[in-house]
Amino acid sequence: VQLQASGGGLVQAGGSLRLSCAASGRTFSSYDMAWFRQAPGKEREFVVAIRSTGGSTYYADSVKGRFTISRDNAKNTVYLQMNSLKPEDTADYYCAARIGKILATVRFAGSYAYWGQGTLVTVSS
């Protein structure tokens, strides 16, 4: 599967952005999808994931209550709605996909085989 992320930009603190990740292929609904982010000088970190089956979602504590992941299997797209943005949310955001992995590893970047290019989100104070 190939992934194409979009929607990043510059926003003031407290503002909102919606990221999109469009996937190629006919089996998108079979993939767990996730967003990770990497700030300058920091390691890539898990943000949120949505399971293929049932659509259960998993959030990092730092974004819980502010970010929402959703997927539209008819459009082969996953979305990340980001509200109440903070300067510490500034990072490159990456979408990722995996298939056939256990739930316990959903937060681990190494369990995702497919990655999109990053889309930069900059939150000004």
Per the CB < 8 A criterion, the answer to whether 2 and 113 are in contact is no
In DSSP terms, which residues pair with 96 in a beta bridge?
34, 115
Q: Say how far apart CA 97 and CA 34 lie, in whole Å.
A: 6
pLDDT, tens digit, for every residue of 2-24? Answer: 999 999 999 999 999 999 999 99
pLDDT, tens digit, for every residue of 61-80? Answer: 999 999 999 999 999 999 99
Q: Give me the mean pLDDT over the 43-57 stretch.
A: 94
Q: Say how far apart CA 96 and CA 23 lie, in whole Å.
A: 10
